[in-house]
Amino acid sequence: MAVHPLRGAAAIVGLGITPQGKVYGSSPLGFAVDAVRLALADAGLRREDLDGLLVNPGLAWSDQTMASFAVQQAMGLRDLRLSAAMNLGGATAGAMVMHAVQAIAAGLCTTVACVFSDAPLKPPEPGGARSSSGAAYAFARGFDATQGFFGVNAMYALIARRHMHRYGTTGEQLGAIAVAQRRWANLNPLAQMRNTPLTLREYLDSRWVVEPFHVLDCCLVSNGGLAVIVTSADRARGSRRPPVYVLGIGQGHPGGDPIDTLSSGAALAGRTAFAMAGIDLRDLDVLELYDCYTFTVLVTLEDYGFCRKGEGGPFAAEHHTGPGGRLALNTGGGQLSSFYMWGMTPLSEAVIQLRGDGGARQVARHDVALVSGNGGVLSTHATLVLSRHPA
């Protein structure tokens, strides 16, 4: 079979992660500029080397239109040949890398920064009022508001409850995912929860947010920015840090209502990406799966085919996905326990692992990584297959 022309055509050569979490004093635009600046420094590149810019604006960007132009102007970038603001929710990071790879392979540009940033958390108010507010994430309008039905948490929880009903998925199985990821986070100096251990008992005793979700089933909320630099495989060879080659890319957006299928877009996106990369699941050393909720991880494992539909609960619980387990899954702690930069969180951890920069949490075999992004309540999906080896 002929090798796909995009397989290994481009590589990630720069990674920029700003301070994450309760970090104040910067606008989302400022975090985006910081992240791109850090990624350029990491790559050993200058601003002048960039000729492409893709921006995923988070929720606090709502007053900004043309976000990529705003970033260009804010950091004085000249003569870009690719520019776009993109939003597929958590699938955007993978989709940005996909567009960057395509544009580079087509000769339309050479070096593209892909960046996400957000600042939904507000600084503590005088008088000790609660410092953080996830209010930006509680979408309530019209009919739903009259029913006290608020937020993305509740929408995912409805689907999770149905999964539990149909397949017997349990809270302990969701908890196994939360605990395994926390153990990874405890080894990650960048993680917001690095100093907070977690047992299954503590998970089960933690407060409910929207039953069947405990607070520890839900991702963190973070201020910050995160960027990667994508360039051609040819240019990547001389780069400062070990290149991370993009072997496979794919998107999958099933449409319809996921509560009927209890599935994400991972099956569709994965087929495209795995075929391009010429790999199957056994070739993957590191899995960085989008984890807005523990439940999202469980469904994504099913949809990629690690187990059959409905068996994600027992599979996750029995595979010991924490450090030293059988499956290296969300090795930085994920969005549940490290930081919430939408699809950039799993992407950044894959780059760290493939480079061998994981420190105490470094996975021994780290040749090929799977990265997933998911958005719109199991409705948008992007898959990346990355490797430290060129095609």
Partner 1 sequence: MSDTSTAAPPKPSPVVTPDMAPFWAAARRHELVVQRCTACGSLRFPARELCRQCLGREAVWQPVSGRGKVFSFVVMHRANHPAFAAEVPYTVALVELEEGVRLAAQLTDIPPQKVTIGMPVEVWWDPVAAEVVVPRFRPRQP
244 DSSP β-pair partners: 12
Determine if 161 is a binding residue for partner 1 (CB under 8 A). yes
Does 290 participate in catalysis according to the annotation?
yes
- CB of 204 vs partner 1, minimal distance in Å: 15
Determine if 130 is a binding residue for partner 1 (CB under 8 A). no
Select from 64, 74, 144, 261 the one that contacts partner 1 (CB under 8 A).
144
Instruction: Give the separation between CA 143 and CA 52, rounded to whole angstroms.
Output: 42
For partner 1, the closer CB: 24 or 208? 208
For partner 1, the closer CB: 24 or 149? 149
Determine if 148 is a binding residue for partner 1 (CB under 8 A). yes
Does 340 participate in catalysis according to the annotation?
yes
- CB of 309 vs partner 1, minimal distance in Å: 17
- CB of 310 vs partner 1, minimal distance in Å: 15
With vertex at residue 297, the alpha carbon angle to CA 355 and CA 214, rounded to the nearest 5 degrees, is 120
Determine if 165 is a binding residue for partner 1 (CB under 8 A). yes
Strands 368-375 and 380-387, by their bridges, are: antiparallel
Catalytic residue among 156, 203, 290, 293: 290
206 DSSP β-pair partners: none
For partner 1, the closer CB: 292 or 382? 292
Side chain identity at residue 73, one-letter code: Q
CB of 109 within 8 A of CB of 50? Answer: no
For partner 1, the closer CB: 44 or 134? 134
Query: Do you know the residue count of the chain?
Result: 391
Q: What sections of 18-112 are H helices per DSSP?
A: 28-43, 67-74, 92-105
Q: Please, which contacts does 1-4 make with residues 24 or more away whose CB atoms are closer than 8 Å?
A: 1/278, 3/278, 3/391, 4/248, 4/275, 4/276, 4/278
First to last CA, the chain: 15
Determine if 147 is a binding residue for partner 1 (CB under 8 A). yes
Determine if 149 is a binding residue for partner 1 (CB under 8 A). yes
For partner 1, the closer CB: 69 or 137? 137
Determine if 150 is a binding residue for partner 1 (CB under 8 A). yes
Q: In what order do the strands lie in the sheet with 244-251?
A: 82-85, 52-57, 111-118, 224-232, 10-17, 244-251, 380-387, 368-375, 286-288
**H-helix or E-strand spanning residue 246:** strand 244-251
Determine if 376 is a binding residue for partner 1 (CB under 8 A). no
Query: Segment near partner 1 (CB under 8 A), from 59-67, 143-151, 357-365, 371-379?
Result: 143-151
Determine if 142 is a binding residue for partner 1 (CB under 8 A). yes
Beta-carbon contacts of 360 under 8 Å, excluding residues fewer than 6 positions away, are 187
Determine if 209 is a binding residue for partner 1 (CB under 8 A). yes
Determine if 59 is a binding residue for partner 1 (CB under 8 A). no
φ and ψ at 142, to 5 degrees?
45, -130
Q: Which residues of 347-360 are buried (b: 16+ CB within 10 A; e: fewer)?
A: bbbbbbbbbeebee
- CB of 141 vs partner 1, minimal distance in Å: 6
For partner 1, the closer CB: 143 or 364? 143
For partner 1, the closer CB: 138 or 204? 138
Pattern 223-262, binding to partner 1, x per CB under 8 A? ------------------------------------x---
Interface residue list for partner 1 (CB under 8 A): 135, 138, 140-151, 154, 157-159, 161-162, 165, 207-212, 259
- Residues assigned a catalytic role: 290, 340
